[in-house]
Chain A
């Protein structure tokens, strides 16, 4: 059984009497340890799909099963719990809380999970070691570079040991080199058995992932746009900037 099962999922918005189908009858399976990118032009519905995958939103129609749990009918409270325990978010703009220092930011999801302070500290330090930021514990986010901030955000996404890492344009605000380092980190996480989902419109990023899902007009496209997916850049016999896992 797949970790994530989407069956005939639609998301319909009503805007001034007009019906907008942001997602139209999408079915999708994602397994454990998959490294996937979701691509598509803006307005295609990829953000909506990401919100549903991340349990930030529920579909209008269809069923979403995460680890066997039905999301479509879950309460806000249950959704919050799933977001807390099962999903780790990484955002384009890092979304670190500016008033908290690095450790406190990483501890935040564990506070919502109700862990005691000793365990929080221990696990936060482990996660920060993993992203090689064990030396910047007391810094504020504003004192860190973009890449460092994103690594803190990844540490934060990891502390509750989620099965899914959901990253929305994680390299969008970083320079190429830093972006590559972050991608390498994601690849490592996927290799450890976590499902990593990258949402992006950057072909270079999409090129890194073994599986690419393209959304077009609210549907999953049958054939991936090679250019958008960055496939045309892969020269046979030449390794990409970051080799696929």
Chain B
């Protein structure tokens, strides 16, 4: 008796009791739908988090962080030099395993003004051209800073499109391209000339929406009336990273020093410490070596005081992974319970089904069915039930995802992945098989005479 026949007979049995089968499958349907939909949501979140990480400079970026000196160097704390341009130069020359070193001197509490408009940038930083590679910027218009800008501390800046939107208006609303090269804006009152502008950074979802809007398939951005935020923050987790990147103002490092730091802060003492040094390693596989090399160099420039530490995106990736794993576990657990309940339902119905078919089973045995034939038949029937349920569950999960995105839109498009579907179907098949074992065993071990005479 081959498997195909068995499956056909199993399907016929399911079809003969359509409504009952449907009810039986419901547990599995819900379980699989929950499993697949949940995993789709988590996949969306994970993708969002990764996208945001790439927007912040990619996985191979290493941040050189300030750190309180360790306890055994407590007495040297007041001699800690902090991160200075000296470190950047020393790293560039003394740490060949590094590809890029990007020193940054941020200018805090800057207000940008132009005519009657003003805005606060997410960051206003004095940088070298290494920052382009470091933060994965793409210059759409104009130029970046050159050596002359640096040496002469020219009052020039490169802005993100967010700044342009705030000070010059949004091209979407104005209906024309706005490229403010050569315009003058004021950074905390000091006039700067815009020499370049980055392209607009968008999350995948926003980019898609924008493309659709340009193609005229989505309505134009509604104007008038207060805008309501949907989801979390500015268009969901991950969106903030793009927002920040677009709200950037860069000026030459030397300009930041000459115009904003040299005159001294409130205490009157000029602060030559950098706010950040970002690194990129040449070979990601030799990350540890490269960091050790950088550390050695920095221990020299810092006179042995460990007032710095490295933060790799690996740590951040680890964080994302841990979070995703937690979500998966929780969701998987809930879906697992649902599938278990579904399995119990199947077992229940299979038991009922065999006790109403005892005479049929007896007849089959009289006609030559072995205990094994009957066993396989019942198990296959049970698996057919659960796999059909799983297939319906996968279908339902698409609807569920659609429903969830409508009810609670987030920037992270849920993505139904093949592994999730396979796991759902596979697990259901296993549940169906296990649920079928007991009824199948009962049916197979029925003595033919008793089965035949059963009333």
Contact = CB atoms under 8 A, between A and B. Distances in A.
Interface string A160-201: 100000000000000000000000000000000000000000
A85 B370 contact: no
B359 A51 contact: no
A156 B449 contact: no
A97 B369 contact: no
Contacts of A160: 368
Contacts of B369: 80, 84, 112
A108 B374 CA distance: 13
A81 B13 CA distance: 25
A81 B368 CA distance: 6
Which range contains the number of A residues in contact with the other chain? 20 to 34
Which of A76, A77, A111, A160 is the most central at the interface, judged by chain B CB atoms within 10 Å of its CB?
A111
Given A56-B449, A56-B452, A114-B2, A99 B370 contact: no
Interface string A100-137: 10000000110111100000000000000000000000
A67 interface: no
Interface in B206-230: none
Interface string B356-372: 00011011111111111
Contact of A112 (B16, B368, B447): B368
A12 to B, nearest CB: 15
Nearest to A48: B449
Contacts of A113: 368
A97 B363 CA distance: 8
A111 B370 contact: no
Interface in B1-54: 1-2, 5, 12-13, 16
A160 B366 CA distance: 13
Contact of A114 (B1, B13, B16): B1
B358 to A, nearest CB: 12
B367 A56 contact: no
B143 to A, nearest CB: 77
B1 A111 contact: yes
A42 interface: no
A227 to B, nearest CB: 27
Interface in A42-88: 51, 54, 56-57, 76-77, 80-81, 83-85
A83 B371 contact: no
A95 interface: yes
B373 interface: yes
Contacts of A56: 365-366, 448-449, 452
A56 B16 CA distance: 29
Contacts of B364: 97, 108, 112
A91 interface: yes
Interface in B357-398: 359-360, 362-373
B355 to A, nearest CB: 16
A95 B448 CA distance: 13
Contacts of B13: 99
Contacts of A108: 364, 367
A89 interface: yes
Given A51-B449, A99-B13, A109 B368 contact: yes
Given A56-B452, A95-B359, A112-B373, A89 B16 contact: no
Nearest to B362: A95
B272 to A, nearest CB: 88
B12 A54 contact: no
A35 B2 CA distance: 36
Contact of B12 (A81, A99, A114): A99
A80 B12 contact: no
A125 B28 CA distance: 41
B352 to A, nearest CB: 16
A223 to B, nearest CB: 30
Contacts of A99: 12-13, 16
Contacts of B370: 76-77, 80-81, 112
B5 A111 contact: yes
A91 B365 CA distance: 13
Interface string B416-455: 0000000000000000000000000000000111001000
A91 B370 CA distance: 19
Nearest to A80: B370
Nearest to B5: A111
A149 B22 CA distance: 31
Contacts of A54: 366
Contacts of A76: 370-371
Nearest to A153: B363
Nearest to B453: A47
Contacts of B449: 51, 56-57
A99 B362 CA distance: 15
A131 B101 CA distance: 94
B2 A80 contact: no
Contacts of B360: 95, 97-98
A99 B363 CA distance: 14
Which of A85, A99, A109 is the most central at the interface, judged by chain B CB atoms within 10 Å of its CB?
A99
7 contacts: A51-B449, A56-B452, A80-B369, A83-B365, A83-B367, A91-B363, A114-B2
Given A57-B448, A80-B369, A83-B366, 14 more contacts: A56-B365, A56-B448, A57-B449, A76-B371, A80-B373, A81-B370, A95-B359, A100-B12, A112-B1, A112-B367, A112-B369, A112-B370, A114-B1, A160-B368
A-B pairs, top 8 by smallest CB distance, nearest first, are A84-B368, A80-B370, A95-B363, A112-B368, A109-B367, A99-B16, A56-B448, A83-B368
